[in-house]
């Protein structure tokens, strides 16, 4: 039995258990960099919120010998524990005036995600795509985001320009940037005391430390950091969650060596779904321009 057959059987069996008031749909979900996950979308007919339960790991358990109905019962338990229930109202999403203040964006690799981006009003920067999202917080659902699609703009009767004006205005407010020395950042992540062998290496991300690599494209952020460090800036994509910032005037490393390091880290350390780019970016404090750092330039 392949994953497609498994998913269809799970949707039928879970539907039988939960009854006619609940719709259960099997769906392939394309994630970042073309990675495909498999999920059940479970929605009560009177609700506008549908929990997504990924089943790839459950399929692995089935292949290892776990009984089908045991897996069905596990999915039902997961749904019951996470079902939104009464009081979850997503109707605000129909009104752009209510959505506007919740707008932000994430960055992904444009070339690895062209199919995914077909119905998204994204913006381009070099080899990256800026993807607009609506950030939400709900006491029952927790924190999450909704990717803005072209169809949403039609419903709202909003142009792409108007959308992005609101994105760039509100993203720094709802998801402010965080800038710290890399040793300080690692201490906060691990609660451990560390030496500081990298005094001129910094981490730039957002306050949530999630999908925060794009904050270097917030209006005036890199300019502000450049003035603080009194240097032009080299920007290294660590993952979709953060970038590494180096002061160009104080770090004496060949650009080719930085590119080699980025490619090696991406191929051996960063998970496939979190890789941002093999490129390195450069902000010139004299011209106030940012672009891809040429690999042959010596730093």
Q: What is the mean pLDDT of the chain?
A: 88
Adjacent-strand bridge partners of 52: 41
Q: Could you tell me the pLDDT band of residue 94, with boundaries at 50, 70 and 90?
A: confident
Distance CA 176, CA 92 (A): 23
pTM for this predicted structure? 0.85
Note the pLDDT tens digit of each residue in 31-73.
Answer: 999 999 999 999 887 776 777 899 999 999 999 999 999 999 9
Helix or strand or coil: residue 269? Answer: coil
Distance CA 70, CA 54 (A): 16
Distance CA 216, CA 5 (A): 43
Helix or strand or coil: residue 264? Answer: helix
Average pLDDT over every residue of 234-255: 89
Helix or strand or coil: residue 100? Answer: helix
The percent of residues in the chain predicted with pLDDT above 70, rounded, is: 89
Per-residue confidence (pLDDT) for residue 246, from 0 to 100:
93
CB 107 within 8 A of CB 214: yes
Note the pLDDT tens digit of each residue in 103-160.
Answer: 999 999 999 999 999 999 999 999 999 999 999 876 655 678 899 999 999 999 999 9
CB 204 within 8 A of CB 229: no
Adjacent-strand bridge partners of 233: 247, 283
Per-residue confidence (pLDDT) for residue 299, from 0 to 100:
41
The CA R_g of the chain, rounded to the nearest whole Å, is 22
Average pLDDT over every residue of 240-269: 89
Distance CA 211, CA 131 (A): 11
Average pLDDT over every residue of 65-87: 84
Average pLDDT over every residue of 263-276: 93
CB-based contacts of 121, cutoff 8 Å, min separation 6: 132, 148, 149, 150, 153, 160, 163, 164
CB atoms within 10 A of CB 158: 18
Q: Which residue has the higher pLDDT, 299 or 120?
A: 120
CB 219 within 8 A of CB 168: yes
Q: Would strands 243-247 and 202-206 be described as parallel, antiparallel, or unpaired?
A: antiparallel
Q: Would strands 281-284 and 233-237 be described as parallel, antiparallel, or unpaired?
A: antiparallel
Average pLDDT over every residue of 93-105: 93
CB 262 within 8 A of CB 213: no
Nearest alpha carbon to residue 153 among 123, 185, 119 = 119
Q: Which residue has the higher pLDDT, 249 or 290?
A: 290
Lowest-pLDDT range of 83-87, 258-262, 291-295? 83-87
Distance CA 141, CA 249 (A): 46
Q: Which residue has the higher pLDDT, 90 or 186?
A: 90
E strands along 69-122, which residues?
103-109
Q: Is the pLDDT of residue 193 over 50?
A: no
Distance CA 282, CA 293 (A): 5
Q: Is the pLDDT of residue 191 over 70?
A: no
């Amino acid at each position: 039995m392949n994953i497609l057959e498994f998913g269809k059987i799970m949707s039928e069996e879970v539907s039988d258990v939960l009854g006619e008031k609940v719709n259960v749909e099997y769906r392939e979900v394309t994630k970042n960099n073309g990675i495909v996950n498999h999920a059940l979308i479970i929605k009560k007919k009177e609700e506008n919120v549908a929990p997504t339960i990924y089943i790839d790991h459950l399929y692995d358990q089935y292949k290892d010998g776990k009984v089908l109905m045991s897996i069905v019962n596990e999915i039902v338990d997961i749904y019951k524990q996470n079902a939104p229930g009464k009081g979850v109202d997503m109707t605000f999403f129909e009104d752009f005036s209510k959505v506007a203040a919740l707008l932000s964006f994430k960055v992904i690799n444009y070339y690895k995600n062209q199919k995914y981006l077909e119905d998204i009003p994204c913006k381009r920067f070099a080899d990256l795509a800026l993807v607009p999202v609506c950030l939400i917080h709900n006491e029952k659902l927790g924190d999450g985001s909704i990717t803005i699609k072209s169809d949403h703009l039609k419903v709202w009767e909003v142009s792409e320009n108007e959308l992005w004006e609101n994105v760039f205005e509100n993203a720094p407010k709802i998801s402010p940037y965080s800038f710290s020395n890399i040793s300080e950042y690692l201490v906060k992540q691990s609660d451990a005391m560390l030496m500081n062998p990298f005094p001129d290496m910094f981490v730039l991300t957002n306050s949530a430390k999630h999908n925060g690599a794009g904050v270097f494209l917030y209006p005036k952020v890199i300019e502000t950091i450049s003035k603080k460090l009194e240097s032009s800036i080299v920007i290294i994509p660590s993952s979709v969650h953060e970038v590494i910032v180096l002061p160009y005037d104080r770090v004496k490393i060949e650009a080719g060596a930085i590119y080699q390091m980025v490619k090696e880290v991406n191929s051996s350390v960063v998970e496939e779904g979190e890789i941002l780019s093999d490129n390195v970016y450069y902000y010139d404090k004299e011209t106030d321009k940012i672009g891809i750092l040429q690999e042959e330039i010596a730093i």
